[in-house]
Amino acid sequence: MSRYFERYEAETSRFFDEVISKEGTPRTHYDKMLHRFGQFSIDDIKARREIVNIFFRNQGITFTVYGEEEGVERLFPFDLIPRVLPANEWQTIERGLTQRITALNAFLHDIYHGQKILKDKVIPAELILGSQHFRREFVGVNPPLGIYIHVTGSDIIRDGEGNYLVLEDNLRTPSGVSYMLQNRQAMKRAFPVLFDKYKIRPIENYPQELLRTLQEIAPASRRDPNVVVLTPGIYNSAYFEHSFLARQMGVELTEGKDLVVNNNKVYTRTTRGLEQVDVVYRRVDDAYLDPLVFRPDSKLGVAGIVNAYRKGNVTLANAIGCGVADDKVIYSFVPEIIKYYLGEDPILENVPTWLASNPSDLKYILANLDSLVVKAANESGGYGMLIGPESTIEQQENFAEMIVANPRNYIAQPTISLSRHPSFFNDTELFGCHIDLRPYVLYGKTVTIVPGGLTRVALKRGSLVVNSSQGGGSKDTWVVDE
């Protein structure tokens, strides 16, 4: 075993460790990796770290730190130790997510058509109709193939026993897939020998699968559909990803001002005139999409694009109004949603969730603020959160006030100690860092999930927050066949 791992403290009595079992021995799917890392000296690791850094820097994989002077671009923190997922565990995740996304799509279709699930009182109607992401004006609109959520990324965690649980669904504009792809490229450069030793399922076909999905959802009348990516622009934190995906798919990357709508059709402005667009993979929020319909002050959107969409002349991916289904309150109903539409038991469990809008739950939440995680229903990126055990009395009192004032907007969950994975804290020392997993799900004629996903790592010692905006990093994720 490696000198690195000899000094590694897994603390398996407190956490589920991905590499070291409760008995203190390495899990078998990590054997070859530990053996290989055992051959490395500190200098070997530093040299590989350098290869990876140069790769990321040359690719322009940096993110801009807002509010600082121009030129402050940081490398996205990357951990050299890959996560290994055995094929049988991956199979459960794959089946579970396919089931979940299929049910959520059926739910969206129902909400925007007959609303049977509300009439059958499986979900209280006021939770849906009162959601800020419910778009009344799209009731009755039929997206091609009846698909709303073409690209999603649900966050999966493991609890203390190692069970895979879904923490949240991102059904609007999930980001990070470019990091998944680039992490793999970087690892191939830095650790070619290790790739020889494992049968790692490839993920490189993601851009082709994405393009295929987008072409499948084009308006039925259009042959050889013209797909574009719509980005908020170069100052968006995920801009690198938008341009990366456009380049990988070989389609145009557009900003709002590149598109015009004429006679309810969408066109790109080119040096040769106007060219019609059939599918827009948009990475712009609903609110900024069309100044005529949503925020009138939006400079990022395309005036008239929503009407073009309603007329069926262009397909938006994802559809408008999907946010109603990834609201953290609706999340707590996903097991019921799966049963209601598919008649099946959920393959992947939810994290237990209390709703502040439910009076008995509210009482429990207020009494246990010091041990629960409280989340605002509509925030993402790790904002608007109270982590009970790490909070001060003052913060708890603050949250209590906000929760009582607006119970619909809050949920609470037990503080789950996410599983840990050894990571290089610096290049000389390994430390157990909390991780999650975000696989990317494509939904066109069929549901496709490339094996693995983005493993996010809370690289701050002891931190539970894995979001990149909060100091998180990532590592390569290998689904391996034995």
Q: Does 307 bind other proteins (CB under 8 A)?
A: no
Check the CA dihedral 304-306-310-316 and report its sign.
positive
Q: How many positions of this chain bind other proteins (CB under 8 A)?
A: 56
For residues 451 and 201, the answer to whether their CB atoms sit within 8 Å is yes
Using CB under 8 A as the binding rule, the residues of this chain from 130 to 189 that contact other proteins are 153, 170, 172-175
The residue type found at 418 is L
User: Whole-number minimum distance, CB 444 to other proteins, in Å?
Assistant: 20
Nearer to other proteins, 6 or 70 (CB): 70
**Closest by Cα among 478, 198, 19, 31 to 11:** 19
Instruction: Give the Cα separation of 268 and 260 in Å (integer).
Output: 6
Structural tokens at position 162: 């190692």
Which one, 184 or 420, has the nearer CB to other proteins?
184
Q: What is the largest CA-CA distance in the chain?
A: 68
Site string for other proteins, 55-94 (x = CB under 8 A): --xxxx-----x---xx-----------------------
Q: How many CB atoms lie within 10 A of CB 146?
A: 11
**What are the start-end ranges of the H helices in 59-201?**
87-111, 116-119, 125-129, 177-190, 192-197
Residue 140 to residue 258: CA distance in whole angstroms: 30
Q: Which amino acid is it at 42?
A: I
The reply on whether position 236 binds other proteins by CB under 8 A is yes
Query: Which one of 139, 234, 367, 404 is in contact with other proteins (CB under 8 A)?
Result: 234
Q: Rule CB under 8 A: choose which of 285, 349, 370, 427 binds other proteins.
A: 285
Q: Point out which span in 100-108, 282-290, 402-410, 419-427 binds other proteins (CB under 8 A).
A: 282-290
Structure tokens belonging to residue 146: 């009846």
Amino acid letter, 130: G
208: Cα separation from own chain's centroid: 19
Nearer to other proteins, 99 or 380 (CB): 380
Residue placing its CB nearer to other proteins in the complex, 17 or 241: 241
**Pick 344 or 379: Cβ nearer other proteins:** 379
The token duo for 433 is: 């860092």
Q: Give the DSSP per-residue string, 275-321.
A: EE--EEEE-S-HHHH-TTTS-TT-SSS-TTHHHHHHTTSSEEESPTT
Quick one: which segment of 86-94, 123-131, 226-234, 356-364 binds other proteins (CB under 8 A)? 226-234
Q: Is 13 in the site for other proteins (CB under 8 A)?
A: no
Figure out which of the listed residues 46, 199, 299, 363 binds other proteins, where binding follows CB under 8 A.
Answer: 299
Considering only 31, 255, 349, 370, the residue that binds other proteins (CB under 8 A) is: 255
> Which residues make up the interface to other proteins (CB under 8 A)?
57-60, 66, 70-71, 153, 170, 172-175, 232-240, 243-244, 246-247, 252-255, 257-258, 260-262, 268-274, 283-285, 287-288, 298-300, 303-304, 379-381, 383
